[in-house]
Amino acid sequence: MERGSTLFLKAAVVVIGLPILALCILALPEGIKDSLGDPYPFNLVVPIIIGLYLAVIPFYAALYQAFKLLGYIDKGVAFSDLSVTALKKIKFCAFVISGIFVACLPLLFLIADEDDAPGLIVMGMVLVFASAVIGVFAALLQKLLRHAIDIKSENDLTV
């Protein structure tokens, strides 16, 4: 049962990564081409697209770490320093993604001000807060796992 659930989660990690890959390969280059004829200044749209591409790097790094963490669970070494390290890297990647999106928010404000589109600002803030929540959750799991490992090693020493 445990192997089946981690296999399902590994498949979910792959399924999460595929639409982002398709977006990077297919949709965003078209967005750059379309932005050449847009009324928005070119210097507002291109940095946002560059920010999206920059956010993809830590996103895939975090997915890779999640895949490794599920592998550790399969191997029975979930309560180890390897798992804590993977959670630490996931936390770091989530906060980097949040930082990249925060850096892009002023540009979204300028575009939304011209276009009078408050939904654009809300979408940008949702991305910031979603990645920040993932980072805080990973930090909490890292702290709990570290505490559990400390208790386990203390119990191993007393027996």
Q: What is the pLDDT of residue 1?
A: 44
- What's the pLDDT tens digit per position in 104-135? 998 888 877 776 677 788 888 999 999 999 99
CA distance 36 to 40: 9
The rounded percent of the chain whose pLDDT value lies above 90 is: 53
Burial class (CB within 10 angstroms; exposed 0-12, middle 13-18, buried 19+) of 135? buried
pTM of the model: 0.85
Give yes or no for a contact between 90 and 138, defined as CB atoms under 8 angstroms apart: yes
Domain ranges of the chain: 2-158
Give yes or no for a contact between 108 and 44, defined as CB atoms under 8 angstroms apart: no
Instruction: State which of 2-6, 28-32, 48-52 shows the largest mean pLDDT.
Output: 48-52
